[in-house]
Amino acid sequence: MVMPTPHERAGSDLLFLREESLRLAQTLMFLAARDMAEAVAPVLEEDGLGRAHYRVLQVLAFSPGIPVSRLQDILGVTKQSLGRTLHELDARAYLQSRAGRQDRRQKLLFLSPTGKAAEARLFAVIRQRLVAAYREAGGAAVEGFRRVINGMLSEHSRALLSEESAGRREGREHV
């Protein structure tokens, strides 16, 4: 076995930055997102839900008790689009709302028990895929994956994630 020279070893550390590797990463992310969406599609169809409903359920699962305006900011959708989705989820009794403690005009959103059950069914599909992938990759790869994904987040998304984590630690209002 021929050992690489120090110069070759140094260059190999940067092979992941080549155009071909970056395009492969982009393709893998696209295909993974598509495959995850396809994996939950049967559950969504069974419940008569779409991807917009799923995104709301996801956010309310990791961030219960957020104001509608904050949900709109996290999802990056128009008020009208979010309003339609929330109306449909509310009609199915997937949501609960409560007035804010400081500002009674503020509407805080939570998943109802029915909404939590629907979100749990969807997350079970994703969880199964993640557990399998994480087991195959190992702990160091999982940590690397988290670092890469975090590095791809915009400052706005990092701030949202940080604020949501802080809200959970502080014990945001719960139903």
Residue boundaries of the structural domains of the chain: 28-137
For residues 170 and 161, give the distance between their C-alpha atoms in angstroms, rounded to a whole number: 14
The full DSSP string for 88-124 is: HHHHTT-EEEEE-SS-TT-EEEEE-HHHHHHHHHHHH
pTM of the predicted structure, to 2 decimals: 0.80
For residues 94 and 68, give the distance between their C-alpha atoms in angstroms, rounded to a whole number: 15
List all residues 6 or more positions away from 123 whose beta carbon is below 8 Å from its beta carbon.
Answer: 58, 61
Q: How crowded is residue 160: how many other Cβ atoms within 10 Å of its Cβ?
A: 17
pLDDT of residue 35: 96
Spell out the per-residue pLDDT of the chain, length 175, in tens. 555 555 455 445 677 788 898 999 999 999 999 999 999 999 999 999 999 999 999 999 999 999 999 999 999 999 999 999 999 999 999 999 988 777 777 889 999 999 999 999 999 999 999 999 999 999 999 999 999 999 999 998 888 888 777 666 555 544 3
pLDDT of residue 100: 73
Task: Supply angle C-alpha 139, 145, 149, rounded to 5.
Answer: 150
pLDDT of residue 171: 54
pLDDT of residue 3: 58
CATH number of the domain located at residue range(s) 28-137 in this protein: 1.10.10.10
List all residues 6 or more positions away from 152 whose beta carbon is below 8 Å from its beta carbon.
Answer: none
pLDDT of residue 175: 39
| Residue in the block written with tokens 């160091």 | 140
List all residues 6 or more positions away from 93 whose beta carbon is below 8 Å from its beta carbon.
Answer: 112, 114, 115
3-state secondary structure (DSSP) of residue 66: strand
Whether the CB-CB separation of 136 and 130 falls below 8 Å is answered with no
